[in-house]
Chains A and B, each alone.
Chain A
Amino acid sequence: MSSLIVVGISDVKIARTPGVLITYALGSCIGVCFYDKAASLGALLHIMLPDAPEKIDNVFKYADTGIAETLRKMESMGGNRNRITAKIAGGAQMFHVPGDNHLGNIGRRNSDSVKLNLLKQRIRMLGSDVGGTFARTVEFNTATGIATIRTYGQHDKDL
Protein backbone atom coordinates (compact mmCIF):
# COMPACT_ATOMS: atom_id res chain seq x y z
CA MET A 1 0.00 0.00 0.00
CA SER A 2 3.03 2.25 0.40
CA SER A 3 3.22 2.96 -3.31
CA LEU A 4 -0.38 4.17 -3.71
CA ILE A 5 -0.40 7.06 -6.17
CA VAL A 6 -3.44 9.29 -5.80
CA VAL A 7 -5.07 10.78 -8.90
CA GLY A 8 -7.16 13.91 -8.25
CA ILE A 9 -10.11 15.30 -10.18
CA SER A 10 -9.20 16.39 -13.73
CA ASP A 11 -5.84 14.74 -13.35
CA VAL A 12 -3.73 11.88 -14.70
CA LYS A 13 -0.90 9.89 -13.17
CA ILE A 14 1.35 7.48 -15.02
CA ALA A 15 3.19 4.71 -13.19
CA ARG A 16 5.72 2.05 -14.04
CA THR A 17 5.05 -1.51 -12.89
CA PRO A 18 4.38 -2.31 -10.01
CA GLY A 19 2.94 1.10 -9.06
CA VAL A 20 -0.64 1.21 -7.82
CA LEU A 21 -2.82 4.13 -8.90
CA ILE A 22 -6.00 5.15 -7.12
CA THR A 23 -8.75 7.69 -7.64
CA TYR A 24 -11.51 8.21 -5.10
CA ALA A 25 -15.26 8.64 -5.26
CA LEU A 26 -16.04 8.85 -8.95
CA GLY A 27 -19.63 10.02 -9.29
CA SER A 28 -20.51 11.18 -12.78
CA CYS A 29 -16.77 11.48 -13.47
CA ILE A 30 -14.95 8.64 -15.20
CA GLY A 31 -11.71 6.89 -14.34
CA VAL A 32 -9.88 5.51 -17.38
CA CYS A 33 -7.15 2.93 -16.72
CA PHE A 34 -4.63 2.64 -19.56
CA TYR A 35 -2.28 -0.32 -19.66
CA ASP A 36 0.73 -1.25 -21.75
CA LYS A 37 2.01 -4.50 -20.32
CA ALA A 38 5.04 -4.87 -22.58
CA ALA A 39 6.24 -1.37 -21.66
CA SER A 40 5.38 -1.93 -17.95
CA LEU A 41 3.32 1.24 -18.03
CA GLY A 42 -0.05 2.11 -16.54
CA ALA A 43 -2.01 5.36 -16.36
CA LEU A 44 -5.14 6.45 -14.55
CA LEU A 45 -7.05 9.44 -15.90
CA HIS A 46 -9.93 11.09 -13.99
CA ILE A 47 -12.12 13.17 -16.31
CA MET A 48 -15.06 15.29 -15.29
CA LEU A 49 -16.75 16.48 -18.48
CA PRO A 50 -17.33 15.00 -21.95
CA ASP A 51 -15.93 17.48 -24.48
CA ALA A 52 -13.37 20.26 -24.23
CA PRO A 53 -14.51 23.80 -25.06
CA GLU A 54 -12.49 26.01 -27.39
CA LYS A 55 -10.51 27.58 -24.60
CA ILE A 56 -9.01 24.75 -22.61
CA ASP A 57 -7.96 25.36 -19.02
CA ASN A 58 -6.96 21.82 -18.15
CA VAL A 59 -6.77 19.06 -20.77
CA PHE A 60 -7.37 16.31 -18.20
CA LYS A 61 -10.76 17.71 -17.23
CA TYR A 62 -12.33 16.54 -20.51
CA ALA A 63 -12.68 13.07 -22.02
CA ASP A 64 -11.52 13.95 -25.54
CA THR A 65 -8.42 15.99 -24.71
CA GLY A 66 -7.64 13.91 -21.59
CA ILE A 67 -7.50 10.63 -23.49
CA ALA A 68 -5.44 12.10 -26.33
CA GLU A 69 -2.93 13.70 -23.96
CA THR A 70 -2.60 10.62 -21.76
CA LEU A 71 -1.79 8.48 -24.82
CA ARG A 72 0.76 11.05 -25.99
CA LYS A 73 2.44 11.03 -22.56
CA MET A 74 2.49 7.24 -22.39
CA GLU A 75 4.07 7.06 -25.84
CA SER A 76 6.73 9.54 -24.81
CA MET A 77 7.55 7.13 -21.96
CA GLY A 78 7.91 4.13 -24.24
CA GLY A 79 4.29 3.05 -24.57
CA ASN A 80 2.81 2.02 -27.89
CA ARG A 81 -0.82 2.72 -28.71
CA ASN A 82 -1.14 -0.55 -30.63
CA ARG A 83 -0.61 -2.37 -27.34
CA ILE A 84 -2.36 0.02 -24.95
CA THR A 85 -5.69 -1.22 -23.60
CA ALA A 86 -8.26 0.55 -21.43
CA LYS A 87 -10.76 -0.14 -18.65
CA ILE A 88 -13.28 2.42 -17.53
CA ALA A 89 -15.43 3.04 -14.44
CA GLY A 90 -17.77 5.78 -13.18
CA GLY A 91 -20.42 7.75 -15.05
CA ALA A 92 -23.06 7.37 -12.36
CA GLN A 93 -26.01 9.60 -11.59
CA MET A 94 -25.78 10.46 -7.90
CA PHE A 95 -29.03 12.39 -7.63
CA HIS A 96 -32.20 12.06 -9.54
CA VAL A 97 -34.22 15.27 -9.67
CA PRO A 98 -37.64 14.50 -11.18
CA GLY A 99 -38.16 16.29 -14.50
CA ASP A 100 -34.52 17.32 -14.71
CA ASN A 101 -32.57 15.74 -17.54
CA HIS A 102 -29.66 18.11 -17.80
CA LEU A 103 -28.10 17.06 -14.52
CA GLY A 104 -28.73 13.35 -14.78
CA ASN A 105 -27.22 12.98 -18.19
CA ILE A 106 -23.72 14.13 -17.39
CA GLY A 107 -22.57 10.67 -16.23
CA ARG A 108 -24.06 9.10 -19.33
CA ARG A 109 -22.59 11.78 -21.59
CA ASN A 110 -19.20 11.22 -19.99
CA SER A 111 -19.24 7.47 -20.57
CA ASP A 112 -20.45 7.92 -24.17
CA SER A 113 -17.67 10.40 -24.85
CA VAL A 114 -14.98 8.23 -23.23
CA LYS A 115 -16.04 5.19 -25.28
CA LEU A 116 -16.20 7.21 -28.49
CA ASN A 117 -12.79 8.77 -27.94
CA LEU A 118 -11.16 5.42 -27.11
CA LEU A 119 -12.62 4.13 -30.35
CA LYS A 120 -11.33 7.15 -32.30
CA GLN A 121 -7.85 6.59 -30.87
CA ARG A 122 -8.12 2.86 -31.68
CA ILE A 123 -7.66 1.79 -28.09
CA ARG A 124 -9.22 -1.55 -27.17
CA MET A 125 -11.55 -1.37 -24.17
CA LEU A 126 -11.22 -4.52 -22.08
CA GLY A 127 -13.71 -3.75 -19.36
CA SER A 128 -16.20 -1.21 -18.13
CA ASP A 129 -18.31 -0.60 -15.05
CA VAL A 130 -20.38 2.51 -15.69
CA GLY A 131 -23.77 3.97 -14.81
CA GLY A 132 -25.90 3.28 -11.77
CA THR A 133 -26.53 5.62 -8.87
CA PHE A 134 -23.50 4.99 -6.70
CA ALA A 135 -19.93 6.26 -6.35
CA ARG A 136 -16.89 4.20 -7.27
CA THR A 137 -13.28 4.24 -6.08
CA VAL A 138 -10.88 2.72 -8.60
CA GLU A 139 -7.57 1.14 -7.67
CA PHE A 140 -5.45 0.20 -10.67
CA ASN A 141 -2.60 -2.23 -10.18
CA THR A 142 0.01 -1.86 -12.90
CA ALA A 143 1.63 -5.18 -11.93
CA THR A 144 -1.46 -7.14 -12.95
CA GLY A 145 -3.50 -4.73 -15.07
CA ILE A 146 -6.45 -5.32 -12.75
CA ALA A 147 -8.70 -2.41 -11.79
CA THR A 148 -10.53 -2.98 -8.52
CA ILE A 149 -13.79 -1.06 -8.10
CA ARG A 150 -14.84 -0.22 -4.56
CA THR A 151 -18.38 0.94 -3.85
CA TYR A 152 -20.46 1.62 -0.76
CA GLY A 153 -22.54 -1.34 0.39
CA GLN A 154 -21.42 -3.75 -2.33
CA HIS A 155 -18.59 -6.20 -2.82
CA ASP A 156 -15.42 -5.11 -4.55
CA LYS A 157 -15.32 -5.90 -8.22
CA ASP A 158 -12.31 -6.61 -10.41
CA LEU A 159 -12.13 -5.45 -14.00
Chain B
Amino acid sequence: MVASYEDLNELQLDAIREVASIGAGNAATALSSLLSQQVKIDVPNVTLMEYSSAIEILGGPETIACGIMVRLSGDMNGIILYLQELDFINVVLKSVFNKTVDRYDELGEMETSALIEIGNIGISSYINSLAAFARMDVQLSVPAFCINMAGAMITVPMTEIGYESNKIMLLDGNFKCGGQKVSSKLLLVPDVQSLSALLARLGVNK
Protein backbone atom coordinates (compact mmCIF):
# COMPACT_ATOMS: atom_id res chain seq x y z
CA MET B 1 0.00 0.00 0.00
CA VAL B 2 1.04 3.54 -0.68
CA ALA B 3 0.18 5.59 2.40
CA SER B 4 1.19 8.94 0.99
CA TYR B 5 2.50 10.39 -2.24
CA GLU B 6 6.00 10.61 -0.76
CA ASP B 7 6.20 6.80 -0.58
CA LEU B 8 6.32 6.31 -4.34
CA ASN B 9 9.47 4.80 -5.78
CA GLU B 10 11.01 5.35 -9.22
CA LEU B 11 9.45 2.24 -10.72
CA GLN B 12 6.01 3.32 -9.60
CA LEU B 13 6.48 6.87 -10.91
CA ASP B 14 7.53 5.39 -14.26
CA ALA B 15 4.42 3.24 -14.36
CA ILE B 16 2.24 6.27 -13.62
CA ARG B 17 4.03 8.25 -16.32
CA GLU B 18 3.34 5.42 -18.73
CA VAL B 19 -0.42 5.36 -18.16
CA ALA B 20 -0.58 9.15 -18.19
CA SER B 21 1.13 9.09 -21.53
CA ILE B 22 -1.42 6.62 -22.91
CA GLY B 23 -4.24 8.86 -21.70
CA ALA B 24 -2.67 12.03 -23.04
CA GLY B 25 -1.91 10.43 -26.41
CA ASN B 26 -5.54 9.40 -26.81
CA ALA B 27 -6.75 12.86 -25.81
CA ALA B 28 -4.45 14.40 -28.43
CA THR B 29 -5.75 12.03 -31.12
CA ALA B 30 -9.36 12.87 -30.27
CA LEU B 31 -8.63 16.60 -30.39
CA SER B 32 -6.72 16.25 -33.68
CA SER B 33 -9.72 14.81 -35.47
CA LEU B 34 -12.12 17.31 -33.88
CA LEU B 35 -10.05 20.36 -34.72
CA SER B 36 -8.89 18.93 -38.08
CA GLN B 37 -5.29 19.72 -37.33
CA GLN B 38 -2.38 17.95 -35.77
CA VAL B 39 -2.53 18.06 -31.99
CA LYS B 40 0.40 16.60 -30.12
CA ILE B 41 1.17 16.28 -26.46
CA ASP B 42 4.55 16.07 -24.74
CA VAL B 43 5.43 13.04 -22.69
CA PRO B 44 3.54 13.89 -19.50
CA ASN B 45 5.31 15.09 -16.41
CA VAL B 46 4.56 13.33 -13.17
CA THR B 47 5.47 15.69 -10.39
CA LEU B 48 4.99 15.77 -6.70
CA MET B 49 5.09 19.23 -5.21
CA GLU B 50 4.15 21.58 -2.44
CA TYR B 51 0.94 23.51 -3.05
CA SER B 52 2.56 26.89 -3.49
CA SER B 53 5.18 25.64 -5.95
CA ALA B 54 2.50 23.83 -7.96
CA ILE B 55 0.79 27.15 -8.58
CA GLU B 56 4.01 28.82 -9.66
CA ILE B 57 4.83 26.03 -12.08
CA LEU B 58 1.41 26.32 -13.67
CA GLY B 59 2.01 29.94 -14.62
CA GLY B 60 1.42 32.01 -11.50
CA PRO B 61 -1.68 32.42 -9.36
CA GLU B 62 -3.35 35.33 -11.13
CA THR B 63 -3.07 34.07 -14.70
CA ILE B 64 -6.57 34.03 -16.14
CA ALA B 65 -7.57 30.79 -17.80
CA CYS B 66 -10.59 28.83 -18.77
CA GLY B 67 -10.93 25.69 -16.67
CA ILE B 68 -12.97 22.58 -17.27
CA MET B 69 -13.20 20.26 -14.33
CA VAL B 70 -14.49 16.71 -14.14
CA ARG B 71 -14.73 14.65 -11.00
CA LEU B 72 -13.75 10.98 -11.14
CA SER B 73 -15.41 8.24 -9.14
CA GLY B 74 -15.62 4.45 -9.13
CA ASP B 75 -12.26 2.67 -9.06
CA MET B 76 -10.48 6.01 -9.24
CA ASN B 77 -11.39 9.07 -7.18
CA GLY B 78 -9.96 12.41 -7.98
CA ILE B 79 -10.23 15.44 -10.18
CA ILE B 80 -9.18 16.17 -13.69
CA LEU B 81 -8.71 19.80 -14.58
CA TYR B 82 -8.20 21.04 -18.10
CA LEU B 83 -6.76 24.57 -18.25
CA GLN B 84 -6.87 26.48 -21.51
CA GLU B 85 -5.56 29.94 -22.24
CA LEU B 86 -6.47 32.30 -25.09
CA ASP B 87 -4.04 30.93 -27.68
CA PHE B 88 -5.52 27.43 -27.44
CA ILE B 89 -9.07 28.79 -27.18
CA ASN B 90 -8.50 30.60 -30.47
CA VAL B 91 -7.34 27.38 -32.13
CA VAL B 92 -10.68 25.87 -31.11
CA LEU B 93 -12.76 28.88 -32.11
CA LYS B 94 -10.96 29.19 -35.45
CA SER B 95 -11.67 25.58 -36.23
CA VAL B 96 -15.30 25.52 -35.06
CA PHE B 97 -16.60 29.03 -35.83
CA ASN B 98 -13.82 30.44 -38.02
CA LYS B 99 -13.32 33.35 -35.62
CA THR B 100 -10.96 34.38 -32.82
CA VAL B 101 -11.23 36.57 -29.71
CA ASP B 102 -8.83 38.96 -28.00
CA ARG B 103 -10.24 38.77 -24.52
CA TYR B 104 -11.99 36.23 -22.31
CA ASP B 105 -15.07 38.42 -21.89
CA GLU B 106 -15.74 38.18 -25.62
CA LEU B 107 -16.59 34.52 -25.17
CA GLY B 108 -20.34 34.09 -25.53
CA GLU B 109 -22.58 31.15 -24.75
CA MET B 110 -21.88 29.40 -28.07
CA GLU B 111 -18.13 29.73 -27.71
CA THR B 112 -18.24 28.58 -24.10
CA SER B 113 -20.30 25.50 -25.01
CA ALA B 114 -17.80 24.60 -27.70
CA LEU B 115 -14.90 24.91 -25.24
CA ILE B 116 -16.66 22.77 -22.64
CA GLU B 117 -17.48 20.15 -25.26
CA ILE B 118 -13.93 20.01 -26.62
CA GLY B 119 -12.58 19.92 -23.09
CA ASN B 120 -14.93 17.15 -22.12
CA ILE B 121 -13.96 15.08 -25.14
CA GLY B 122 -10.27 15.52 -24.33
CA ILE B 123 -10.86 14.53 -20.71
CA SER B 124 -13.06 11.53 -21.54
CA SER B 125 -10.56 10.18 -24.07
CA TYR B 126 -7.80 10.55 -21.52
CA ILE B 127 -9.65 8.79 -18.70
CA ASN B 128 -11.30 6.11 -20.82
CA SER B 129 -8.02 4.95 -22.34
CA LEU B 130 -6.28 5.05 -18.96
CA ALA B 131 -9.12 3.11 -17.35
CA ALA B 132 -9.17 0.53 -20.15
CA PHE B 133 -5.42 0.03 -19.90
CA ALA B 134 -5.50 -0.38 -16.11
CA ARG B 135 -8.78 -2.37 -16.26
CA MET B 136 -10.48 0.06 -13.90
CA ASP B 137 -14.06 1.20 -13.91
CA VAL B 138 -14.03 5.00 -13.74
CA GLN B 139 -17.09 7.24 -13.90
CA LEU B 140 -16.93 10.86 -14.99
CA SER B 141 -19.11 13.68 -13.72
CA VAL B 142 -20.71 16.33 -15.90
CA PRO B 143 -18.05 18.94 -16.74
CA ALA B 144 -17.98 22.15 -14.71
CA PHE B 145 -16.61 25.31 -16.25
CA CYS B 146 -15.15 28.61 -15.10
CA ILE B 147 -13.04 31.48 -16.38
CA ASN B 148 -11.00 32.98 -13.59
CA MET B 149 -7.60 32.97 -11.87
CA ALA B 150 -5.86 29.64 -12.53
CA GLY B 151 -4.35 29.69 -9.04
CA ALA B 152 -7.78 29.43 -7.45
CA MET B 153 -8.87 26.60 -9.75
CA ILE B 154 -5.83 24.54 -8.86
CA THR B 155 -6.69 24.80 -5.18
CA VAL B 156 -9.91 22.86 -5.91
CA PRO B 157 -8.12 19.48 -6.20
CA MET B 158 -5.77 20.58 -3.41
CA THR B 159 -8.59 21.11 -0.91
CA GLU B 160 -9.95 17.75 -1.97
CA ILE B 161 -6.79 15.95 -0.86
CA GLY B 162 -5.85 18.55 1.77
CA TYR B 163 -6.64 16.31 4.72
CA GLU B 164 -4.37 13.56 3.36
CA SER B 165 -1.39 15.39 2.06
CA ASN B 166 0.66 18.58 1.96
CA LYS B 167 1.79 17.81 -1.52
CA ILE B 168 -0.08 17.39 -4.73
CA MET B 169 0.64 14.92 -7.49
CA LEU B 170 0.18 16.39 -10.90
CA LEU B 171 0.12 14.43 -14.11
CA ASP B 172 0.29 17.15 -16.66
CA GLY B 173 0.76 17.41 -20.38
CA ASN B 174 1.40 20.38 -22.65
CA PHE B 175 -0.32 20.45 -26.00
CA LYS B 176 1.06 21.49 -29.36
CA CYS B 177 -1.26 22.47 -32.20
CA GLY B 178 0.10 22.42 -35.75
CA GLY B 179 3.63 22.34 -34.33
CA GLN B 180 3.09 25.35 -32.06
CA LYS B 181 3.12 25.13 -28.31
CA VAL B 182 -0.19 26.30 -26.86
CA SER B 183 -1.19 27.06 -23.29
CA SER B 184 -3.36 24.09 -22.65
CA LYS B 185 -2.78 21.69 -19.80
CA LEU B 186 -4.50 18.58 -18.57
CA LEU B 187 -3.98 17.89 -14.90
CA LEU B 188 -5.00 14.65 -13.29
CA VAL B 189 -5.04 14.61 -9.51
CA PRO B 190 -5.89 11.17 -8.12
CA ASP B 191 -6.33 10.66 -4.40
CA VAL B 192 -3.88 8.47 -2.52
CA GLN B 193 -6.11 5.37 -2.28
CA SER B 194 -6.87 5.47 -6.00
CA LEU B 195 -3.20 5.75 -6.71
CA SER B 196 -2.60 2.57 -4.71
CA ALA B 197 -5.38 0.83 -6.62
CA LEU B 198 -3.91 1.98 -9.93
CA LEU B 199 -0.43 0.76 -9.00
CA ALA B 200 -1.87 -2.59 -7.92
CA ARG B 201 -3.55 -2.99 -11.32
CA LEU B 202 -0.29 -2.15 -13.02
CA GLY B 203 1.49 -4.77 -10.89
CA VAL B 204 3.93 -2.35 -9.25
CA ASN B 205 2.38 -2.03 -5.82
CA LYS B 206 4.92 -3.01 -3.18
Q: Give me the interface of A with B, judged by CB distance under 8 Å.
A: 8-11, 24-29, 48-49, 53, 57-58, 61, 92, 94-100, 103, 106, 133-137, 152-153
Contacts and interface: CB of A to CB of B under 8 A. Distances in A.
A96 B62 contact: no
Contacts of B152: 25-29, 92, 94, 135-136
B169 interface: no
Interface of B: 51-52, 55, 61-62, 64, 67, 69, 71, 105, 141-142, 144-153, 155-156, 158-160, 162-163, 166
A148 to B, nearest CB: 14
23 contacts: A8-B52, A25-B149, A25-B155, A27-B151, A27-B152, A27-B155, A27-B156, A48-B158, A48-B159, A94-B152, A94-B156, A95-B145, A97-B71, A97-B144, A99-B142, A100-B71, A106-B159, A135-B148, A135-B153, A137-B61, A137-B149, A152-B147, A152-B148
Given A24-B61, A27-B155, A95-B67, A152 B162 contact: no
Contacts, number: 96
Given A29-B152, A152-B147, 18 more contacts: A9-B52, A24-B151, A27-B151, A53-B163, A61-B162, A94-B67, A94-B156, A95-B69, A95-B146, A95-B153, A97-B141, A97-B142, A103-B160, A133-B146, A135-B151, A137-B61, A137-B149, A152-B148
A29 B151 CA distance: 11
Contacts of B62: 24-25, 137
Contacts of B155: 9, 25, 27-29, 48, 94
Contacts of A9: 51-52, 55, 155, 158
Q: Is the interface of B mostly helix, strand, loop or mixed?
A: mixed
A49 B55 CA distance: 18
Nearest to A134: B148
B144 A96 contact: yes
A57 B160 CA distance: 16
A93 to B, nearest CB: 9
Contacts of B163: 49, 53
B141 A100 contact: yes
